[in-house]
Amino acid sequence: MIRGGAPMTLSRRQFLKLGAVAAASPALAPVPSVAQGAAPRVVVVGGGFAGASCARALRQSHPRFAVTLVEPNPTFTACPFSNVVIAGLRELSAQQFTYDRIAADGIVLARTTATAVDAQARTVALADGARLPYDRLVLAPGIDIRWGALPGYDEPAASEMPHAWRAGEQTLLLRRQLEAMDDGGLVVIAAPANPFRCPPGPYERASLIAHYLKTKKPRSKLIVLDAKDAFSKQRLFQQAWAELYPGLLEWVPLSKGGNVTSVEPATRTLVTDFGRHQPKVANVIPPQKAGRIADVAGVADRSGWCPIDPVTFESKLQPRIHVIGDAAIAGAMPKSAFAANSQAKTCAAAVARLLTGATPSTPKLINTCYSLVAPDYGISVAGVYQPTPAGQLADVPGAGGVSPSEAPRAVRAAEAVLADAWFRTITTEVFG
Partner 1 sequence: MGRVLAAAIGLASIAAAAVAWAQPPAGAAACTGCHPASTRAQSPVVRLAGLDRAAIVRAMREFRAGTRTGTVMDRIAKGFTDEEIQAIAAWYAAQR
Ligand X SMILES: Cc1cc2nc3c(=O)[nH]c(=O)nc-3n(C[C@H](O)[C@H](O)[C@H](O)COP(=O)(O)OP(=O)(O)OC[C@H]3O[C@@H](n4cnc5c(N)ncnc54)[C@H](O)[C@@H]3O)c2cc1C
Residues that bind ligand X (CB under 6 A): 45-51, 70-73, 76, 79-80, 82-83, 113-114, 140-142, 165, 197-198, 201, 205, 291, 293, 325-327, 335-338, 340, 369-370
**Interaction residues for partner 1, span 327-356 (CB under 8 A):** 338, 341-342, 345-346, 349, 352-353, 356
Q: Is 26 in the site for partner 1 (CB under 8 A)?
A: no
Phi and psi at 93, nearest 5°, equal -60, -25
Part in contact with partner 1 (CB under 8 A); list of ranges 246-254, 268-276, 295-303, 381-389 = 381-389
**Closest separation between CB of residue 417 and partner 1, Å?**
7
**Closest separation between CB of residue 27 and partner 1, Å?**
13
Prior bond of 389 cis (ω within 30°): no
364 binds, among partner 1, ligand X, none (CB under 5 to 8 A by kind): partner 1
Part in contact with partner 1 (CB under 8 A); list of ranges 55-63, 79-87, 129-137, 217-225 = 55-63
Q: How many residues bind partner 1 (CB under 8 A)?
A: 49
Sign of the CA dihedral 348, 351, 357, 359?
positive
Asked if residue 42 lies in contact with residue 58, where contact means CB atoms within 8 angstroms, the answer is: yes
Angle subtended at Cα 353 by Cα 349 and Cα 358, rounded to the nearest 5 degrees = 145
Q: Which residue, among 171, 81, 108, has the nearest Cα to 427 in the 3D structure? A: 81
Asked if residue 42 lies in contact with residue 134, where contact means CB atoms within 8 angstroms, the answer is: yes
What CA–CA distance (Å, rounded) separates 374 from 243?
A: 11
Prior bond of 195 cis (ω within 30°): yes
211 binds, among partner 1, ligand X, none (CB under 5 to 8 A by kind): none
335 binds, among ligand X, partner 1, none (CB under 5 to 8 A by kind): ligand X
Phi and psi at 81, nearest 5°, equal 80, 0
105: Cβ–Cβ under 8 A, 6 or more apart, which residues? 56, 59, 60
**Chain contacts with partner 1 (rule: CB under 8 A):** 30-32, 36, 57, 61-62, 338, 341-342, 345-346, 349, 352-353, 356-359, 361-366, 368, 380, 382-384, 396, 398-401, 403, 411, 414-415, 417-418, 421-422, 424-426, 428-429, 432
